[in-house]
Structures are given as structure tokens and as C-alpha cells.
Homo-oligomer: A and B are copies of this chain.
Amino acid sequence: MLARLESLCARYGLEDLAGRLDSIQRFMDADLGRLEEILADIPRRGQSIVHASARHLLERAGKRVRPLCVAMAARVGRGFSPKARELAVAVELVHSATLLHDDVVDLGETRRGAATVRAVFGNAASIYAGDWLFVEALRRVRLAEMDDVMDRMLAVIEEMILAEAVQLERRGRLEPDRAAYFRVVEGKTAALFRWAMFAGGRAGGLDEGACRALERYGQDLGVAFQAIDDLLDWSDDTTAIGKTLLADLREGKMTYPLIVGFERDPRIGAVVRDAFERGDGVIDDADGARLRAMLEAAGALEDCRALARDRALAAVASLTPLPESEATWALAVIAEATADRRR
């Protein structure tokens, strides 16, 4: 991480690295600290099973990378105003709403180290709590009073749903399909990152051109983020690999390392198909470790990291038209850190 930061510093001609990192840390503490309070307060507004369900998810902090995008994009402009904060809350609520619906669809049992809402409160509560968070998000977008931001939010939610539909239709199909992979990743993940950057920029008072540059950053960052998520499924801790892999395939999720592996080494496809087609198909720990070794040997894991790095660099390149500032520097660091993420 430090080496990459230094290369960044060299690229941007920045000297006071320690000072810069401190200021990024201060931004993030200030911006995201208040955000956690707001997110925690939302489900306290009522006592129903919908509120309890929302609380269960929102109390378990995720990475909050989408609100961070809003905050940093706003800081590229006039700063992280109360209006920008509403949009940062909104993007995390939309993300949370999709998780609540996805867990029902995928019969998810755990999330963020705890039982899912559907496991604790039931499918119905998870569906309605997701609906509620969608509405709560849209109310905050409305409060920000920028029609184009609202219109893009609605368009992005549609993109997310249609990407879910692509995934649904691919359930149980084991062919590697790069086009379908990118369609899903761009819809499910990158679209909301894109919105976060656009919305933050608009709230920061930036002009159309600057907002579009930020949007391109968000698009590439989203793909990089998802590629690393895919890679981390194949982390050294292989005990969970088999279970996760088969569950993913049943849900139509073919991750990037597996696509590359299928393309490069027919034995990988054979092992997976064999396990998948056995009725009670499981991939045991030994098979999981063996698959990981085959993907490693085929260069699939390295390729996945390279995809993330390429997209992170593209994201950084999108920042070029923007005036240099602590905020653009922070966005560059976030992109690099995303591609280097180890957990």
C-alpha cells in the first residue's frame, strides 16, 4: 500500500504525504462518523418489524464505500454539505435495500458476520424492510432538490434490477460468459458507484463536465471493487470456498476468476461441473483448495487483480480534467486502495 502511495505521490508530484494522509483520514472520520449516526437513527423512528429489520442490517456497518464516494465527490466541489450528506445516506440505503431483497432471493443465511434479516425476522420482513429503505432513500434524494439526481437514481435502480434479472436467468448455467459478467457487474455494482459520484459532484456545485468525469470514475471504481470481491472469494482461507462457489453458481453468479479459469484450463470446468451435477453436489475443502491452486496456476487470480488495477487506473485517469485538490488526491488513493484490497 505504501509503495503504491509513493508512486501516486510521484505521479501527482505531492510531497507532504503524511499530511495528506492525515487530512484524508480527517475527512473520512468527519464525514462517515456523522453518517453512521444518521443511519442508526433511521430505524429508531418506529417500533414495527420493518424498523427492527432495517436496524438489524444498518447496525452492522459495511464498508460504506458508496457514501464515501458521495462525500469525496462533494469535496471535489464546495464540500460535504448537509445536502450531500442526505445523498450519502441515500446511496447506502439503496445498497442496503438491495441486500435485503437479494438475501430473500438467494436464501442468504449470514451477512456481515451475523444472521440475515430473513433468517431472524423472515422473508416477508426482509422484503418490506427493503421496500421501506428504497422509499426512505428516495425521500432523501427528493429533499436534496436536484431533479437530475433523482432521475438518475431511478434509472440506476432500474439498471440494478435488470442486472439481477440477468443473473436470475443464468441460474445453474456453467458457461463462462464475459459479456454477461460485465453486464451484471455494471448494473449491480458500478451503476450505484456512478450515481454516488455524480450526486456528490452535483451537491458540491460542480458543472456538468466535472460531474461526468466523476461518473466515469465511479463506473470504473465499481468494477474494480467487484473484481476484488470476486477475488476474495478465493482467498487463502479455503475452508469456505466450495460452499460459496456452488451457492454462487446456483444463483447465476459466475465470478471473474472462474470465467478466466474455465477459458484457460478445461480441467477447472470439469471439476466444477462434476460437483455441480451430482445431485447433492458439494465441493469439499480438498477440492476447493485444488481448484484454487488450478486457478492460481492458470493465472486467473492474477488476472482478476489485474482487471481491478486496470479499472482503478482508468478511474484515476478520469480525474484528469478536475482541478487538483485534496479531494481528487483522496479519490486517487481510494481507487488504488480498492484494487489492493486484501479483505
How far is B168's CA from A158's CA once the two chains are assembled, in angstroms?
A: 28
Contacts of A161 in B (CB 8 A): 50, 128, 131-132, 135
Contacts of A49 in B (CB 8 A): 165, 168-169
Copy tally for this chain in the complex stands at 2
User: Chain B nearest CB: distance from A31 CB in Å?
Assistant: 26
How far is B161's CA from A124's CA once the two chains are assembled, in angstroms?
A: 11
**Interface flag for A154 (CB, 8 Å):** yes
**Interface flag for A147 (CB, 8 Å):** yes
Interface footprint category on A: 35 or more
User: Chain B nearest CB: distance from A52 CB in Å?
Assistant: 9
Contacts of A158 in B (CB 8 A): 132, 135-136, 139
Contacts of A46 in B (CB 8 A): 162
User: Chain B nearest CB: distance from A97 CB in Å?
Assistant: 9
Q: Determine whether the beta carbon of A50 is less than 8 Å from that of B162.
A: yes
Encoded as 1 (CB less than 8 Å from any B CB) or 0, chain A from 132 to 157 comes to 10111011001001010011001101
User: Chain B nearest CB: distance from A48 CB in Å?
Assistant: 4
How far is B124's CA from A127's CA once the two chains are assembled, in angstroms?
A: 11
How far is B168's CA from A333's CA once the two chains are assembled, in angstroms?
A: 46
Encoded as 1 (CB less than 8 Å from any B CB) or 0, chain A from 317 to 335 comes to 0000000000000000000
Using A50-B165, A142-B150 as known contacts, list a sample of 14 further A-B pairs with CB atoms less than 8 Å apart, ordered by residue number in A: A48-B162, A48-B165, A49-B169, A105-B128, A124-B164, A124-B168, A125-B168, A128-B165, A132-B158, A135-B157, A135-B161, A136-B158, A138-B138, A138-B154
Binding site for B on A (CB under 8 A): 46, 48-50, 101, 104-105, 122-125, 127-128, 131-132, 134-136, 138-139, 142, 145, 147, 150-151, 154-155, 157-158, 161-162, 164-166, 168-169
